[in-house]
Each structure stands twice: as structure tokens, then as C-alpha cells.
Structure 1
Amino acid sequence: MHHITTIEGVLDASGLKFTIIASRFNDFIVERLVGGAVDYLLRHGAARQDLTLIRVPGAFELPLVARAVAQRGGVDAIVCVGAVIRGATPHFDYVCAEATKGIAHVSLETGMPIGFGLLTTDSLEQAIERAGSKAGNKGAEAAAAALETVRVLRGLEGVSA
């Protein structure tokens, strides 16, 4: 059996700076996502002073602000959180698609790890479930993905192609 080089992200947030970008729309849900992200990062070694929270009007504004943060530098990863609920958003499909594509594009364009914590649900009940009750907390999951991605990218730096 040949040795396989494995690069994995150690879930250690100490010494890293994170910016959480949160949409105001459906704020009572988004607050739980922000709480989940902050709690996750603190429990994994991040210092409170290394976390910044930015609030934007809605999901549609997440990519633009994420791009500005990534281009400014001084941050290791971004966590985007928001909640788009079909019943509450007339242009639901458009907002979800544009926010999702936009965030992915910013990450690829800038090389910035971005945790994707945007809930897109059919109902308020589903949003509540994914913001900390039955189905876990999408904010914490997004923070975990951002942290692991930072560490994977750092692990690649020392590996020859």
C-alpha cells in the first residue's frame, strides 16, 4: 500500500480573524445563525476580538459586502449568514440563486474561504429548525466549513504539486 498524502483542516481557530456578514431580513432567525457561528468559532479557539460582525439589508447584498471584505484583507475567512423564506419573499428563487452564485463567485475570485450559512426554506418552521432546533444550526456549520477550508488552504501551501 503506497503512502497517500492527506491534507485535512484541523479545526483550530486560534490566531485567525473571521468576519461574519449577516442579513437583517428575517432577523429573528438570522440572530440564531450569528449566535451559532460565533459560539462555534469561540469554542474552537478564536478570540472574541478577532471576530467582526457586519450587517447588510438582505441576502442579495451578501456577495458585494463579502467581496469588499475579501479585497480589503486582514481577515482569514468570511461566514455569510441569512434567511430567505419562500412565503415571505416574493422573488424567492431569484434572490436565492443570485446570493448563492454571488458568494461562490467572490470566494473563487478572491481566494477567500467563505462559509455559506444562507438558509433558503419554504417555511418559517423549516428556517427555525435549521437555525438551532431540530436540524442543527446552519450558522455553526458555515463557520465550521470556513475554518476547515482556511486550514486546508494553509496545508496546501507547503505541498509540492
Structure 2
Amino acid sequence: MATRLKNLSDFSDTAIPSAAPYRFGIVVSEWNSGITNALYGGAYQSLINHGTLPDNIFTYQVPGSFELTAGADLLLKNLKLDAVICLGCVIQGETKHFDFICQAVANGVSNVAIKYSKPVIFGVLTTDNQQQAEDRAGGIHGNKGDEAAVTAIKMASLAEILNN
């Protein structure tokens, strides 16, 4: 496994633009809340650390990961945002439910981004078990929420550059 010994949230070799001029939406799944709250903490703190004003971060919860797509769509329809971060966690179970949810959310996030021509970031953990989720929500592999926030900042900056 390529990520076994790697902290995926190490951005020491990457230039991250200032997030000060941007407005971000964060949609967080309530399902697996111990994990999604940790993802949210990472995303929120990363945005703040890179210059986003707290008043420019708009956070909303949805029941589960499946609803992240609709949540992102509603945010972009009703708020002036530069990017939306979708945070969720789907852990493999004994049925095919996992496969259907993961595919639907990934496709849905992409479709919302295309619909609005705005960055919509897939910060959804799709893990085999609870431990893998914990490892990626502030554990040995970093925090996927932090990664999602950095991605949102970079994509908002790219959109600004290309739209000017």
C-alpha cells in the first residue's frame, strides 16, 4: 500500500495561495460523526491558517454522505461562494450499499462542480473499516479535511486566475 507510511496531509513542498479573498462552503455529513467532525476540524482550521476569515466560511450539516451532493448544490444556488468542500465518511459494510453510495457521491460532486463551474471538493473517506477512517481523520495518514481545504483554496485561486 503506497500510503501505509505516509502522512497525506504534508504540504511542505507545495505552494498554497492565500485564502483571504475567498468564501467557502463546507457541507458535513452527520453519519459517522466522530470521523466527519474531525474532518471538519481539519478543513476549518486549514482555511483559517491560510487566511480565510471565519465570516467567509459557511458550514451546513446533512444527514449522510449521499446528501452531500444536494447540500453542495443548495449552497452554490443560494450563496456567493468560491468553492464548496464536501466532507463525509462511508465505511464498507456487508452489503453493496457502500459501492452505490460512494459512486453516487463521487459522481454527484463532479456534476455539481460542472453545473456551477465552481470547485466542489470530494473530501469523503471511503474506507474498509473504522481504523482506516480514523487514520485519515487526524491519525497517522493526516487529515483528509485538511487536504480538502487546501484543494479548495488552490482551485478557487485557479478559477480566479482563469476568470480574470
Which of 35, 48, 56 aligns to 1:50? It is 56
Which of 143, 156, 161 aligns to 2:162? It is 156
Aligned to 2:23: 17
SS at match of 1:87: coil
Aligned to 1:110: 116
Relative to the length of structure 1, the TM-score reads 0.88
Relative to the length of structure 2, the TM-score reads 0.87
Kindly state the Cα deviation for residue 107 of structure 1 after the two structures are TM-superposed.
Answer: 0.2
Aligned to 1:65: 71
- Give the aligned length: 150
**1:40-98 CA distances to partner (integer Å, 9 max, x unpaired)?**
00000001111111000001001111111112231111110000001387611000000
RMSD value over aligned CA atoms? 1.5
Which of 78, 81, 96 aligns to 2:87? It is 81
Is 2:34 the counterpart of 1:28?
Answer: yes
**1:114-145 CA distances to partner (integer Å, 9 max, x unpaired)?**
12100000000000001011111101101111
How many Å separate the matches in 1 of 2:153 and 2:90? 24
User: Cα gap change, 1:130/1:26 in structure 2, threshold over 3 Å: closer, same or farther?
Assistant: same
| Unaligned runs of at least 5 residues, structure 2 | 1-14
| Unaligned runs of at least 5 residues, structure 1 | 1-8
Aligned to 2:141: 135
The 4+ residue runs of structure 1 with deviation greater than 2 A are 87-90
Kindly state the Cα deviation for residue 12 of structure 1 after the two structures are TM-superposed.
Answer: 0.8
User: Cα gap change, 1:88/1:18 in structure 2, threshold over 3 Å: closer, same or farther?
Assistant: farther
Which of 112, 121, 138 aligns to 2:127? It is 121
User: Cα gap change, 1:128/1:36 in structure 2, threshold over 3 Å: closer, same or farther?
Assistant: same
CA contact (8 A) 1:79 1:116 kept: yes
Aligned to 1:100: 106
User: Cα gap change, 1:117/1:126 in structure 2, threshold over 3 Å: closer, same or farther?
Assistant: same
User: Cα gap change, 1:75/1:88 in structure 2, threshold over 3 Å: closer, same or farther?
Assistant: farther
How many Å separate the matches in 2 of 1:109 and 1:56? 20
User: Cα gap change, 1:108/1:150 in structure 2, threshold over 3 Å: closer, same or farther?
Assistant: same
CA contact (8 A) 1:21 1:55 kept: yes
* Structure possessing the higher radius of gyration over alpha carbons: 1
Q: Which moved more, 1:117-126 or 1:46-55?
A: 46-55
